Structure 1
Amino acid sequence: MAGKDLSETTGGEVSGWAHVVQSINRLFSTPKNTRVFLREFGSDLPSLVDVPSNDAGILALFVAVATALEQWEPRFSLSTLNVSQAEPGKILLNLVGTYLPRGHHGDSTPEGDEQVLSVPITGL
């Protein structure tokens, strides 16, 4: 997941931080084992939307976010995560972290201040 892509909303080109945001949204909303030629892509988040809001449920959400980002989005280094129930069947992830524009090349040099991203997740 690097470089440029087509915007899912406008059809135009998207790059830089906007591309990272789009990639994270796609990653978190894609259940694992649903892409035909890339079965391991995605996250466990869609299946965790309705977990109880107890310690075990929240921990499962945190693990799913951290695991997906670690595996699939090297251009974002997560520092803070908050989870809130937006409505039944939907959660809102509030992520704070560092944008690493060359992270996909192994370069962990940050660019700018910490970034804030809110990602809504709906259940399966």
Structure 2
Amino acid sequence: MMSRETGLSISEVESIKQSIQDIITTPIGSRVMRREYGSNIPNLIDQPMNDALIVKLYSAIYTPILRWEDRISIESLNISDVSSGSMQLDLEAVHTISGQALNLNIPLQMGAS
């Protein structure tokens, strides 16, 4: 496994975090050969914060991770530090092969950074 930023070798956990970042920050329909890949998060990130948006955010994160990242089973997820164009995803999961509990803190940047 290789880091998409440095080209260096990374651990399985870092690869999972990198994969989740890619899934969540990729708009659905933007991949030519995989139109269904990605999430609706890019469409939601700049909307006014309210209870309905929070529910949409959780759904827009959980569903694509469940579909596209089969190396983990999600136990819980929490969204924090939501600001214009970014958020922090705190994810508790279990590695499906090893059974190892994972605590993943994933910063998500949308758009240009």
TM-score (norm 1): 0.77
Structure 2: how far apart are the matches of 1:58 and 1:67?
A: 14
**Structure 1: stretches of 5+ with no match in the other structure:** 103-108
**For the aligned residues, what is the CA RMSD?**
2.0
- TM-fit CA distance, 1:52: 2.8
Deviation at 1:64, TM superposition (A): 0.7
Q: Which amino acid aligns with 2:79?
A: V
Q: Which runs of 5+ in 2 are unaligned?
A: none
Give the stretch that moved more between structures: 33-42 or 82-91.
82-91
Closer/same/farther in 2, CA of residues 66 and 46 from structure 1, 3 Å limit? same
Say if 2:25 and 2:38, in contact at 8 Å, map to a contact too: yes
Q: Is 1:97 the counterpart of 2:93 in the alignment?
A: yes
Q: Distance in 1 between matches of 2:83 and 2:33?
A: 33
Aligned length: 112
Moved over 3 A (4+): none
Q: Percent identity?
A: 33
The reply on whether 1:25 has 2:21 as its aligned counterpart is yes
Aligned residue in 2 for 1:118: 106
The alignment's TM-score, normalised by the length of structure 2, stands at 0.83
Which residue, out of 59, 74, 78, partners 1:78?
A: 74
The residue type paired with residue 99 of structure 2 is P
Matched, 1:36 2:25: no
